[in-house]
Chain A
Amino acid sequence: MTAVWLIPALPLLGFVTLVVLGRKFGDPGAGIFAACMVGLSFLGTLGVFAHLLSLPHEERAISQTLFTWISSGSFKVSIGFLADPLSITMCLFITGIGALIHIYSVGYMKGDPKFSKFFVYLNLFVASMLLLVLGDNLLLTFLGWEGVGACSYLLISFWFTDPKNASAGKKAFVTNRVGDFGFMLATFLVWVTLGTVNYEQIRPLAPGLAAGTATAIALLFFLGATGKSAQLPLFVWLPDAMAGPTPVSALIHAATMVTAGVYLLTRLSPIMAEAGWANDVVAWVGALTALVAACAAIAQNDIKKVLAYSTVSQLGYMFLAVGTQSYVAAVFHMITHASFKALLFLGSGSVIHAMAHEQDMRKYGNLRKYLPITYATFMVGWLAIAGIPPLSGFWSKDEILAGVFNAKTFGNLALWVIGMAVALLTAFYMTRQVIMTFFGEEKWRHAEVDAHGHELHADEEDAVDDHDHHHLTPDHTPHESPISMTLPLVVLAGAAAVAGLLNLPFGDPLKFLEHWLEPTIVGEHELPPGWVQALLSLAAVAVAVIGILGARAVYFQKKVDPAKIEKPVFAHAWYIDETYAKFMGGPGETAFEDVAQFDQKIVDGAVNGIAGGTVGLGNRLKGLQTGLVRTYGLGMAIGAVALLAYVVTRIGG
């Protein structure tokens, strides 16, 4: 199976073709072409997947080196691909969900003046993401890492004529840079200590790392991961990133790119296994992020912001799993989350589409009447994320929590409690969203009401998707989205419902995913005995049910004033973003000014000084170029004498 390179090459081909011919292909054409490319890539991935399945368990890795990319001294990097269970799993849902979202986008972006450009970016994103996942070395992964970052930036600020969208893009970009810095340092460190950046070569060498070095590497990579995967303290960009078109939010900021950090740490599990307390840091950061984001989610009114904070929170779960060495659980949750979160985002997109691009949930209500398919699929997503069995979210979340309960991590019980709290909050805010959107009265029919009398509008301005300017009017009648949008919803709903089958905890033969990933992952974790697991599961289900009922009580039966729960501190996500802004505007700004001064005076000064010095030197030296042949001849002769003298002295010795 030597067609591994085709997987990223096809979207790349789509990208190149669309760059050149995108406008020619026109409105649906470009989108269909892009979707076909990703679909073909998916088929290719399936082929590789089937091939891997046919191989014996231990040999399930295809590495393919195309050519040498950089060769500088002992530093040698190839463009090469590594298709092993981990990367192919990632590829499957990147290309699978990617293809669905491409199809969805054909409907969603219909009539946009930059229609073909959108698919240019999307294809480039898929290609970069596949490169990130398939690359057989850190540098190639970094290339993909930066590629997805760039595409994310381009897509967040896709409607850049609105300064808010543009600044959201910049925010995402800058925040990610901080993380990339960690990635780069970590890569350098790996190169210096191990002498290679190739994963397959790192794997046998990693156990030889000193504990301190491994910890440093792991922490630096984790810094990179916090940027890309929106963890504390760098999560602030993701909620703002919802400014981009909804398919983008679904594909990039829910399903694929944000999981890159999880993928990276999983891929580097050989190093993480040596990293000691860095794992504790990962786990705690993940847990705290999950909690902080879940709290924020309950107070958001923007339908997509709820999902965005939810994403942050779910990613926190994944890191919690990574930190407790339950990589399989992390990947499992990554897969299930990818399907149900994509589903939720696309569903919300469908809602937004139906509601004339109004994103404020306070103006929704009773939409189940108008959007039956969206409603039905959204229900599946809701129950899945809330952790109701037998839907997928339950199984993966349960496995994480079970893993945490039994982990050797510092304060594992506290982590478990936090995890349970987050599960509760998740069920709560999702139920809140579902009720506000699909149940109750049709609130948009009341002109400009603020049903709950909130003083603060929770940044609703920021997230308003007003790329076309027809606003929601009281006489608006929502209508179901076209087939190209509902079809992906149905498919994803199916996936979200059954994805749990991948790794059922009822017995070893049913843990398909675990066996599948076994050859790739280093790290041992022990699940608690069966009866404990059963108890834990029961507890989780109970917590989820409590959350759902609580939300029902507050928002459906209106027993409690929502304002008591939706505290401003939650709405502002604990004021973390504001603190950053304050710092950056105050002491930060002066520091930046100084840095800018330094750059201008010293760095630029050095560059300009060298240039100026060269010019000056040249002006002085040009006198040597007399144009007189005899002077040149004399120079040559003197040089010849010097050479001769050297040779003669050598002869003597």
Chain B
Amino acid sequence: MFTLTETWYLVLAALIFSIGAVGLLVRRNVLVMFMCVELMLNAVNLTFVSFSTALDDLGGQTAVFFVLVVAAAEVVVGLGIIVAIMRRRQSADVDDISLMRG
């Protein structure tokens, strides 16, 4: 039986992060993309806590706390923007929102 070290957590976090990154790039629904960002943030949080445990230091947990707060703020503003955009065009497809193209 393997022993549970922080490496396990870190590998799991890397997996979640990669999945989130791929999802962000592949999915076209703005909301789903947003969720993928949250996935990535969570993967990072997990990494922070794992290192915090591994190094026996509160620093990682403190970082997670701030990530949580910032994520909350980000979602509030992001969803506000999405709602404002979707009021104009009845679509959540991010490819439709390309007014800023060169």
Question: Is A–B contact present in the complex under a CB 8 A cutoff?
Answer: yes
A contact residues vs B (CB 8 Å cutoff):
621-630, 633-634, 637
Assess the B99–A630 pair: CB atoms within 8 A.
no
Nearest Cβ in chain B — how far from A594, in angstroms?
A: 43
Instruction: Decide if B102 touches A628 in the complex (CB within 8 Å).
Output: no
Query: B residues engaging A (CB < 8 A)?
Result: 21, 24-26, 28, 33, 94-95, 97-102
Contacts of B98 in A (CB 8 A): 626-628
Q: How far is the CB of A641 from chain B (nearest CB, A)?
A: 10
Of the candidates A623, A633, A634, the one whose C-beta lies within 8 Å of that of B102 is A623
Q: How far is the CB of B100 from chain A (nearest CB, A)?
A: 5
Which residue in A621, A624, A629, A637 is a CB contact (below 8 Å) of B97? A629
- State whether B25 touches A627 (Cβ < 8 A): no
A616 to chain B, nearest CB (A): 14
User: Could you tell me the distance in whole angstroms from the C-beta of B96 to the nearest C-beta in chain A?
Assistant: 10
Residues in chain A near residue B94, CB distance under 8 A:
628-630
Report whether A630 and B95 are in contact in the complex, using a CB–CB cutoff of 8 Å.
yes
Q: Can you list 16 contacts pairing A with B, beta carbon distance less than 8 Å?
A: A622-B102, A627-B97, A628-B101, A629-B33, A629-B94, A629-B97, A630-B24, A630-B25, A630-B26, A630-B28, A630-B33, A630-B94, A630-B95, A633-B24, A633-B25, A637-B21
Query: What A residues does B24 contact at CB under 8 A?
Result: 630, 633, 637
Quick one: closest A residue to B27, CB to CB?
A: A630
Query: What are the 3 closest A-B residue pairs judged by CB atoms, nearest first?
Result: A627-B101, A627-B98, A622-B102
Select one of B25, B33, B101 contacting A637, CB under 8 A.
B25
Q: In the assembled complex, how far is the CB of residue A640 from the closest CB belonging to chain B, in whole angstroms?
A: 8
Checking A623, A627, A633 against B99 with a beta-carbon cut-off of 8 angstroms, the contacting residue is A627
Q: List, in ascending order, chain B residues with CB within 8 A of A628's CB.
A: 94-95, 98, 101
With A630-B25, A633-B25 as given contacts, are A624 and B102 in contact (CB-CB < 8 Å)? yes
Q: Which residues of A contact B25 (CB under 8 A)?
A: 630, 633-634, 637
Q: Which residues of chain B are within 8 angstroms of A627 by Cβ–Cβ distance? A: 97-102
Q: How far is the CA of A629 from the CA of B24 in the complex (A)?
A: 10
CA distance A624 to B102 in the complex (A): 8
A624 to B33, CA, bound (A): 21
Nearest chain B CB to A622's CB is how many angstroms away? 3
Known: A628-B95, A628-B101, A637-B21. 17 other contacts (CB 8 A): A622-B102, A624-B102, A625-B100, A625-B101, A626-B102, A627-B98, A627-B101, A628-B98, A629-B94, A630-B24, A630-B25, A630-B33, A633-B24, A633-B25, A634-B25, A637-B24, A637-B25
A628 to B: closest C-beta gap in Å: 5
Give the complex CA separation of A625 and B97 in angstroms.
Answer: 13
Q: Which residues of B contact A630 (CB under 8 A)?
A: 24-26, 28, 33, 94-95
Question: Considering the chains assembled together, what is the distance between the CA atoms of A625 and B101 in angstroms?
Answer: 5
Which residues from chain A contact B28 at a C-beta distance below 8 Å?
630
CA distance A339 to B32 in the complex (A): 89
A463 CB to nearest chain B CB (Å)? 64
Which residues in A have their C-beta under 8 angstroms from that of B99? 627
Name A640's closest neighbour in chain B (CB-CB): B21
A623 to B102, CA, bound (A): 6
> Which residues of the other chain, A, contact B102 by a CB distance below 8 angstroms?
621-627
Query: What's the least CB distance linking B73 to chain A, in Å?
Result: 20
**Bound CA span A623–B97, Å:** 16
Taking CB atoms, residues of chain A closer than 8 Å to B21 are 637
Q: For the complex formed, measure the closest distance between the CB of A384 and the CB atoms of chain B, giving whole angstroms.
A: 77
Cα of A246 to Cα of B24 in the assembled complex, Å: 80
Chain A residues lying within 8 Å of B100, measured Cβ to Cβ, are 625, 627
